[in-house]
Amino acid sequence: MLTLLRDLRRLRRGLALPQPDRARSLAIRHVDAGSCNGCEHELTLTSGPHYDLQRFGLGVVASPRHADVLLVTGTVTTRMREPLLTAYHAMPEPRKVAALGDCALGCNIIGTTDNLAGKVSDILPVDLLIPGCPPGPDQIARALLNLIDGRTPAGERCVAERQPVTPPFSR
């Protein structure tokens, strides 16, 4: 057990994630607005023992009423548009919105159908874009830590625009 804990500590040190300037916390409410679940897999890894974002004060909460940031994955479907707006309006001010993954950024990965309401920024004011299909846990971790420190890099583009990706559910 002690050996495992020592190895885990060494692995975490190897990640070299930036330490926030001072002690802060960020409560995250995640909404899957129409994802293929690829982004969720990577998001789950950020909470696992390897990345363990809780040590930086980041935690996923069950209610939008307790959340500082609404983290949205997937292209927003017409059925998820209203629940997404409801979650956003339930959050206390000041509230932030983060779009996670190329689908949420509107990179047209799954094409256009009548069942899609659009990208997240068509529906909510987005503060943070995390590109990738899916973005890796270290990329998600760095972006959220930047959000804690008030750094939200502008001009993030779809990874799908830079290098064509094969959607995980293509035929």
Encode burial over 6-45: b for 16+ CB neighbours within 10 A, e otherwise: eeeeeeeeeeebeebeeeeebbbbbbbbbbbebbbebbeb
Count of residues that interact with ligand SF4, criterion CB under 6 A: 14
- Give 96 or 119: the residue with its C-beta nearer to ligand SF4: 119
Among 69, 70, 133, 147, binds ligand SF4 (CB under 6 A): 133
CA atoms within 13 A on the CB side of 94: 5
Q: Which two tokens stand for residue 101?
A: 């993954």
Q: Compute φ and ψ for 65, nearest 5 degrees.
A: -65, -20
Using rule CB under 6 A, residue 98 touches ligand SF4: no
Radius of gyration of the CA atoms of the chain, in A = 16
Write each residue from 22 to 51 as x if it is in contact with ligand SF4 (CB under 6 A), else as -, in one continuous string.
-------------xx-xx------------
Which CB sits closer to ligand SF4, 57 or 167? 167
Q: What is the rounded distance in angstroms from the CA atom of residue 41 to the CA atom of residue 166?
A: 17
Q: Does 99 bind ligand SF4 (CB under 6 A)?
A: no
As measured in angstroms, the least distance from the Cβ of 4 to ligand SF4 is 31
Helix (H) or strand (E) holding 106: none
Task: State which residue, 103 or 148, has the beta carbon closest to ligand SF4.
Answer: 103
32: CB partners within 8 A, 6+ apart = 40, 73, 74, 80
For ligand SF4, the closer of residues 56 and 76 by Cβ is 76
- Position 118 contacts ligand SF4 (CB under 6 A): no
Q: Which residue has the closest beta carbon to ligand SF4?
A: 38
Query: Does residue 109 interact with ligand SF4 by CB under 6 A?
Result: yes
Residues near ligand SF4 (CB under 6 A) are: 35-36, 38-39, 73-74, 101-103, 109, 133-134, 167-168
